[in-house]
Amino acid sequence: MGIDFWLIAILAVVLIGFSKAGFGGGPGVLATPILAAVCGPTKAIAIMLPIMIFCDLCCVFIFRKGRVWKKVFNLLGGFFVGLLIATFFLKELPGQEVWLKKAIGSLAIVFGASYFFLFKDNRIEKYVPQKTWFGLALGVLAGIVSTLAHAAGPLTTMYFLSQGQRKENFMGSIVVYAFIGNCLKLPSYFFSGILTRETLSFSLPLLLAAVFGIGLGWYLNRRLSDMKFKGAVNGILVAIGLYLVAF
């Protein structure tokens, strides 16, 4: 790999670390497409997965006091069901990636924009169910979308935003969910031959860039009030939605 690969890879990895420690994910959705531009999509996801798990683990430690396990388990329970449904029943649907991404993107735009224009008190949780069934139902949808289109990030962000959590609770919950979800991908990546010694040899040197990105994100996160944090995350959600709809 030439110098162009390493420069773009460092940019992508810093973006991953920054977005995870700063906003629980968000802009990090762009990191893999950025890297794929110089090494192809299969190698990009293989290089990124160990780095994302490392970032998740660091963030799980940083935000260890804020997680709300009930919310995490509600979403994970539904996620496994959605994963099975997508694997055994929906895998052959033609063009599923395109319409799923556009549907999730449209939902993200509506949800994020609603925070600014509809809910004057900025308390969207008053209008969204807080029951276990809602987390399970959204988890099923996230499992389906993650399996078929790899675009479930906005759904998990919308779920944790809608549950009336403070910044620390949002971060603590979403990073541990991401950590568990990414770890579950390891066996399939390994046995399918996507994750290899070669890809790991690219991942390991990039961990330093991940640490730098995490530091930047954590620095910004600590300086945002709850209100400004929610505004930033909803703004990012709208931007991601526009990206999914457009591309």
CB-based contacts of 12, cutoff 8 Å, min separation 6: 31, 32, 34, 35, 48
> Residue range 68-92: average pLDDT?
82
Query: Hey, what amino acid is at 27?
Result: P
The larger pLDDT score, comparing residue 116 to residue 62, is at 62
pTM for this predicted structure = 0.85
Neighbours of 123 (CB within 10 A): 12
Look at the chain and report how many structural domains it folds into: 1
Mean of pLDDT values over 122-132: 71
Spatial neighbors of 35 by CB under 8 A, at least 6 apart, are 8, 9, 12, 44, 47, 48
Mean pLDDT of all residues in the chain?
A: 86
Looking at residue 94, its pLDDT comes to 54
Segments forming the whole domain that contains residue 213? 3-246
Task: Express each pLDDT in 40-75 by its tens digit.
Answer: 888 888 899 999 999 999 999 999 988 889 889 999
